[in-house]
Structure 1
Amino acid sequence: MTGETVAAPPSHALPGRVNQAIEEFLASQAASLADVSADCTPVVRSMTDFMSGGKRLRAAFCYWAWRATGAPDGPGIVRASAALEFFQAAALIHDDVMDDSDLRRGAPAIHRRFAAEHRRNGWHGDADHFGVSAAVLAGDLCLAWSDELYSGSGLHQVALARGRPTFNRMRTEVMGGQYLDLLEQAIAGRRPRGALERARRVVRYKSAKYTVEHPLLLGARLAGAGDELLAGFSAFGLPLGEAFQLRDDILGVFGDPARTGKPAGDDLREGKRTVLVALALERSGDKRTALIESLLGNPTLDAAGIATLREIIVDTGALTTVEHTIADLLDRSLAALATTPIDESSRPVLAALAHAATDRVS
C-alpha cells in the first residue's frame, strides 16, 4: 500500500476519477504513437472514443475491494483499477471482430470504423480486411496498455506483485472462455447433450469471473488481504458475475437498441449459444428445435425471425427461468457480502454495485 491519502471520496466520484486516469494515460500513448507517425492518429482517436464509454464496473469492484480491506484511497489504486478497463476494451474489440458485430455502444464497432475510413479515403485493397486487421491491432494495444497502466500505477511493487497472479489468471481465463464461446457456435447443434452446462461454463469464464470476482480479488490482493477475506470476495463475486452475464444475455435478445447500443436480437443473428437458448432447445420438441436451429446464427435474420425466436424462448419458460436464476444468484451474492468481514463504509457501496450489475437495462 502507498498510504497516499486517507479520506475516501464519495462513491459516485469514482467513475470520473477512473475516466481521468484513462484520459491521462491515453494522452501519453498518443504522444508515443505520434513519434511513430502522424498516420497513427486514427488509432489514437478510435481508442479515445471507444474508451469514453462504459460503466466502469470492473474498476469499481477492484477499487472498493481495496477500500473494503481498510486500505486508504489514493491515485495509485484508481490507476490500477483503470487498467481493467483497458483489458475490457481489448476483449470487446476482439469479441466484435469474432462476432462480426456492426455496433458497440451505439457506434460502429472498431473494425467497422476502420473499414469505413479505408473506403472514405479510397485506399488500395479490401476495406473489410483492413478494418479487421486494424481492430486486431487496436485490441492488442489495449491488452498491452492494461499491463502497462497496472505496472505503472504508482502502487508499491510489493503490492503489484501480490496482485499479479490474479491479473494474469484473469486474462488467461477470459481467452479460454472466448474460445469456448467461439467453439460452441462452430459445433452448433452437433453436441446437444450438455449444452446448458457448456453455456454456463462460457458465462463463468468469458465474463463472470473477470467482470466481478477477479476485480474484487485483485483489489483485495493489492491491499494484502488474507485468505478469509479473499474467500468472502469469491463467494460474493462469482454468483454476481454470473448474474451480470445472464442479464446481458437477456438484453442481447430482448433489450431496447436505444439503451443497449446494439441492434435488436443481435445475439440471435450471431448465433450465441447462451443459457437462454440452451434452455429453449432443451425444452422444445423436434419441430421447434429444428426451427430454432434454422434461424439462430442467420446474419440476415429479420424482425419476424427474431420475434419467432423470442416467442419460443418465452413460451418454453427459458426467460422466466433465467430471471429467477439471476434473482437467486444476486441473493447468494448479497448473503455472502453480509457475512464477509470488511470495512463497513464499503459494504453499502458494494451492495449498490451488485444491484447495478443485475438490474440494468443496457
Structure 2
Amino acid sequence: MVASRIRKEVDEALYAFVDRQRPLLDAVSGDLAPMLAALDSLLSGGKRLRPEFCYWGWRGSGGEDRPELFTAAASLELLQAGALIHDDVMDGSDTRRGQPAAHRRFEGLHAESGWRGSAEAFGAGAAILLGDVCLTWCDEMFQGSGLPDEALRRGRPIFDLMRTEVMCGQYLDMRGQARGPLAGHAMVEEALRIVRFKSAKYTIERPLQLGAALAGSESVAELSAYGMPLGIAFQLRDDVLGVFGDPAQTGKPAGDDLREGKRTVLVALTLERATTAQAQTVETLLGDPALDLDGVETLRSIIVATGALDACEKMIDGYTADAEAALAAAPLGAEGREALSGLTVVATARTV
C-alpha cells in the first residue's frame, strides 16, 4: 500500500512538471509535439525505484511526508529517462519498456514523412536531443521542487555526483564493448566496475543518500554499505533477465542484450569459464544484430553449461546478503529499515 502511494505521488509530481513544460515547447513550435509524445510514452512505464529509495532515505532519516520531497524524488525519473534514451541510441536498441525506443520512433517519423537524408541519423540525433532535454529538466525539477534552500544545498553534491557517475559508467560500458574482452578474471572485475558506476550508484546508493541528505542526516556515507551491494545485485539480476527473461515482463525481445553485445558480468563469467570452442562461439554470435532465436538459444546453452548462470546467481545472493546485513545496522529508523527490506526483495528476487 505504501509503495503504491509513493508511486502515485511521484507520478503526479512528474506528470505535473512535464505538463508545465508543454506550453514552453508549444511556443517554440508545434513541430516539437513528437518529442513530448516520445517522452510521455517512456515516462508511462518504469518501476520508480529511484524515487522510492530517495523517499525512504528521507523518511528513514526523520523527514516528514511533504509534496516537495516527492517532486525532488520524481526528478530522478527524468535523469533515468535521459540515460535510457541515450543508452538505447548507443546500443542500437529497438524497444524500451515494450514500446519502440525513442530513436526508432523518430526514425519512423522521418521515413513516414518522406524527409530528405538518413532516417537513422535523424532518429539518433532527435533522441540525443530529447535525452538532453530530460537531463536539463531533471535539474530544473530538483532545484525547483520547493524544498528549503538548506535542504537543497545538502542534497546538491550527491545529485550532481550521481549524474556524473552514470555518464562515466556509460562511457566505460561503451568502451568495453568496443575494446573486446580482457584476459581471465579481469573481465569480471571490469564488468563489475561498470555495474557500480552505470547502474548501482544511481539506481540505489545515490538516491538513498540523496533522500537522507535532504532530510539532514549526518550519516549519509554509511548508507553505501547497504546501497552499493544491493545496487550491484539489482543490475546482475537485470543482466540475467536480459538473456533469460520473459519479453512480456522485460519489455524487450528475448536475448536482446546478446544482440547488442553487452559485456555484462554474466557474459564475463561465461568467457572466463568457457572452452576455446565455446569462447569462439560466444565471440562470433555476441553483438550480432541479426541474431535469431536459434543463436540466442545457443548462447544461453553455453552460459548454462559453463556454470556462469549459477555463478551469477550466487553473486546476486552474496551481494543481497551483504545488503541485508548492512541494512540491519544502517542509520535509519525502524520504519525505513522495514520498507527497505521489502525493496531489497523487489530489486533482486525477480524471476526469469
- Residue 237 of structure 2: which of 238, 241, 247 is its match? 247
* 3-state SS, counterpart of residue 79 of structure 2: helix
Given candidates 193, 205, 210, the residue that maps to 2:197 is 205
Give distance in 2, aligned partners of 1:105 and 1:361: 17
Partner of 2:111: 119
Equivalence for 1:65? 57
2:289 is equivalent to residue 306 of structure 1 = no
Partner of 2:327: 337
Report which stretch shifted further, 180-189 or 141-150: 180-189
Q: Which residue identity does 1:249 align to in structure 2?
A: D
- Matched to 1:259, the amino acid is Q
Secondary structure of the 1:264 match is: coil
Query: 1:179 aligned to 2:171?
Result: yes
Partner of 1:5 in structure 2? none
1:350 matched to which residue of 2? 340
Query: Displacement of 1:191 after TM fit?
Result: 5.4
2:67 paired with 1:91: no
Residue 86 of structure 1: CA displacement? Answer: 0.4
Equivalences for 1:285-296 in 2 at 5 Å?
285-296=275-286
Inter-partner Cα distance in structure 2 for 1:140 and 1:12: 29
- 1:16 aligned onto 2:16: no
Q: CA deviation at 1:361?
A: 4.3
Q: What code does the residue aligned with 1:142 have? A: C
DSSP-derived class of the 2:63 partner: coil
Deviation digits for residues 127-152 of structure 1 (CA, Å, limit 9, x no counterpart):
11111111000000000010000000
1:196-275 matches, cutoff 5 A = 196-227=188-219, 230-275=220-265
- 5+ residue gaps, structure 2: none
TM-score in terms of structure 2 length? 0.97
Specify the alignment match of 2:37 in structure 1.
45
Which of 62, 75, 82 is matched with 2:67 structurally? Answer: 75
5+ unaligned residues in a row in structure 1: which ranges? 1-8
Query: In structure 2, the residue corresponding to 1:319 is in which secondary structure?
Result: helix
Determine if contact 1:239/1:332 at 8 Å carries over to the other structure.
yes
Query: d(CA) in 1 for partners of 2:292 and 2:29?
Result: 44
Residue aligned with 1:189, SS:
coil
Residues in 1 aligned to 2:173 and 2:248: alpha-carbon distance in whole angstroms: 26
RMSD: 1.3
Q: CA deviation at 1:195?
A: 0.9
Cα contact 1:185–1:272 (8 A) shared by 2: yes
For residue 48 of structure 1, report the CA deviation from its aligned partner.
1.3
| Residue pair 1:208, 1:245 contacting (<8 A) in 2 also | yes
Deviation at 1:189, TM superposition (A): 3.2
SS of the aligned residue for 1:73 comes to coil
The alignment-based identity, stated in percent, is 53
Look up the equivalent residue of 2:246 and give its one-letter code.
D
Aligned-pair CA distance for 1:102: 0.2
Partners of 1:129 and 1:192 in 2: CA distance: 38
Structure 1 residues 193 and 61: CA distance shift in structure 2, 3 A: closer
Instruction: Give 3-state SS (helix, strand or coil) of 1:273's partner.
Output: coil
Give, in whole Å, the separation in 2 of the partners of 1:50 and 1:148. Answer: 19
The one-letter code matched in structure 2 to 1:164 is R
Structure 1 CA distance for aligned equivalents of residues 317 and 49 of structure 2? 19
**Alpha-carbon distance in structure 2 between the residues aligned to 1:295 and 1:128:** 24
Cα deviation for residue 194 of structure 1 reads 1.1
1:153 equivalent to 2:164? Answer no
TM-score by length of 1: 0.95
Q: Does 1:322 align with 2:295?
A: no
Deviation at 1:286, TM superposition (A): 1.3
> Displacement, 1:12?
2.5
Alpha-carbon separation, structure 1, partners of 2:306 and 2:157: 42
User: CA 1:241 to 1:124, structure 2 compared with 1: closer, same or farther past 3 Å?
Assistant: same
Once residues 130 and 100 of structure 1 are traced to their aligned partners in structure 2, the CA distance between those partners, rounded to angstroms, is 14
CA distance, structure 2, for counterparts of residue 283 and residue 304 of structure 1 = 22
Indicate the residue corresponding to 1:188 in structure 2. Answer: 180
Aligned partner of 1:198: which letter?
Answer: E
Number of corresponding residues: 352
Instruction: Return the match for 1:36 from 25, 28, 40.
Output: 28
Confirm or deny: 8 A CA contact 2:185 2:272 kept in the other structure. Answer: no
CA contact (8 A) 1:260 1:361 kept: no
Partner-residue secondary structure (3-state), 1:346: helix
Match of 1:167 in 2: 159
The reply on whether 1:138 has 2:130 as its aligned counterpart is: yes
Measured against aligned partners, the alpha-carbon deviations of 1:55-113 in whole angstroms (never above 9, x if no partner) come to 00000000111000111110111000001110000000000000000000110000000
